[in-house]
Amino acid sequence: MTPKTIAVEGQLSPFEKALADAGFRVIPLTDEALSQAQAIVVQGTDIHFLGMEDPMTLAPVINADGRTPADVVHEVERRLLRD
């Protein structure tokens, strides 16, 4: 089974490691990653994620602000199980 791809915003290396340890393929969050990722982990969100008014992805966006790496891994797993 191919591991799910998770795009992670910069400055979140503990989250990258936790996701990789959980078996996910982790890539940096870039414009290209938006079309490849099954989930996206960011430092914080607002109404205009990444400064865009129209979403460029249907992948769930998970806010890591105030969460532990284990919390984020659990949330990614929970969100991806719905698919």
Q: Identify the residue with better confidence: 2 or 64.
A: 64
- What is the strand order of the sheet 61-63 is part of? 25-28, 5-8, 39-42, 61-63
Quick check: 52 pLDDT over 80?
no
Predicted local confidence at residue 57, as pLDDT:
74
pTM of this structure: 0.84
How high does pLDDT run on average in the chain? Answer: 86
Residue 66 half-sphere exposure, CB side, CA atoms within 13 Å?
A: 3
Encoded tokens for 25: 């393929």
Secondary structure of residue 33 in the 3-state scheme: helix
Interatomic CA distance for residues 27 and 52, integer angstroms: 20
Alpha helices by DSSP H, the chain: 13-21, 33-36, 69-81
